[in-house]
Amino acid sequence: MNQRALLCLVLSLAACGGGDGGVLPVLDQDAGFDSGPVPEDAGPPDPSGFMVQTVDAELEIASLLDLAIDANDIEHIACRRQNSGAVLYVRPVSGLYVVEEVEGVSGAGLDVSLALDNAVSPHIAYWDGDTHTLRYAHKSGSAWSLATIDTLRSSDSAEISLEVVPASGHAAVAYSDAMNHEVLFAENDGSLDWTLSVIDDARSNTPSVGLQLSADADPFVMHGVRGLGIDAAFLAQRNVETWQDIASIPDNGGASMSFAMNGAGDVFVAYAIASGSDDALRLATLRHGETSWSTLVVDDETFVGTAISLAIAPSGEIGIAYYDWQQSDLYYAHGSPTSMDHVRIESARHQVFRSSLAFDSFSRPHIAYRDAFTNHLRIAVGRAPAPAQ
């Protein structure tokens, strides 16, 4: 998973994309990529173990996107149109990818975040580049409701992280105000009304921010701080009505990071060092109830710590999608806090500014990303991990 905000108002569903009415074929089900288990003798021919597909050869999207997978192993993607910045929602319907335009706001280079509730209703948070407002969209049935979460914020390079309490549909979002160096939190009760709070406004906060909800729906926010003698990523927890830092990772000002929590309350953060010549990708682990992080170097090659997205599979395995900027390679690492292997998914062809990783119920990794050479939305689907011996 990766790691961003929300919205409401009535919107028209403008189908867009390929020449066939906005629908595109899903990955070949005969290759073992349907919603059921992968047959033992099936699987992608690529040595990486991934099957990669361009969703729509005519749809051009901007660099930032977000992927979620529902309980039926269906992919849902929020992204933005390359030229206009319009917010798009993409998912398969009857074996074909369908593209909907959620709202025609501007801001092609601005962030977008997606979450699903138990009714498989999408919730999307995004910036409106013209008004500098944080917006929220929720689809119920065939209609979208739109709302403004926050106004008068700088949206330039600011990240959004949206989560939803699956059973209730209550939404929460953490986001950064790049101009005022603030980290903020907003939540609703399932309605279109939002309650705002400030997580950090006293330090030089970076745009990087991520939100996770615990098993009890308590919010935890990871955010970077750089400057004023501080260069670290902080984990903040809400205590009644105030926020407090409960842990930090030194030497990382949030240049690029992604975090997730498991059901036991353990915290996992994939990150790169914020400055200096060390560009290695690292995994930091904080076990529930402990105060010290354990750290593992996942990949020590140069320029690998970008486009990071971390998620935890149902099997408990940790997955990290990331990009090697120097070689133009997209990678996937998987394993445990003490040992991880990595494979190259795309070799020397694609530039990736944001990847988004999610797992299906069989612990197969799905990675959505934009190919910067063609601006196409691409999806890579891997195989389930081998059973433990």
Residue 163: inside a domain, yes or no? yes
Q: Tell me if 88 sits within 8 A of 76, measured CB to CB.
A: no
Is the per-residue pLDDT at 86 higher than 80?
A: yes
Residue 343 per-residue DSSP state: E
Residue 268: inside a domain, yes or no? yes
- Distances from the Cα of 166 to the Cα of 117, 170, 213, 223, angstroms: 4, 8, 10, 24
Residue 339: inside a domain, yes or no? yes
Residue 334: inside a domain, yes or no? yes
Residue 323: inside a domain, yes or no? yes
* Rounded average pLDDT over 260-267: 95
Q: For residue 67, what are its two tokens? A: 């992927």
* Span of 41-50, 99-108, 301-310 with lowest mean pLDDT: 41-50
When divided into structural domains, the chain yields a total of 1
Residue 389: inside a domain, yes or no? no
Residue 6: inside a domain, yes or no? no
* Rounded average pLDDT over 62-87: 94
Task: Please report, for the domain that includes residue 140, its CATH number.
Answer: 2.120.10.10
Split at pLDDT 50, 70, 90, the class of 39 is very low
- Distances from the Cα of 376 to the Cα of 242, 314, 369, 383, angstroms: 42, 29, 8, 23
| pLDDT value, residue 237 | 94
From CA 199, how far away is CA 184, in angstroms rounded?
5
Range of the domain at 68: 14-382
232-242: pLDDT as tens digits: 889 999 987 89
Residue 269: inside a domain, yes or no? yes
What value does the mean pLDDT of the chain take? 82
For strand 365-371 and strand 376-382, is the pairing parallel, antiparallel, or unpaired? Answer: antiparallel
320-355: pLDDT as tens digits: 999 988 888 899 999 999 999 999 998 656 678 889
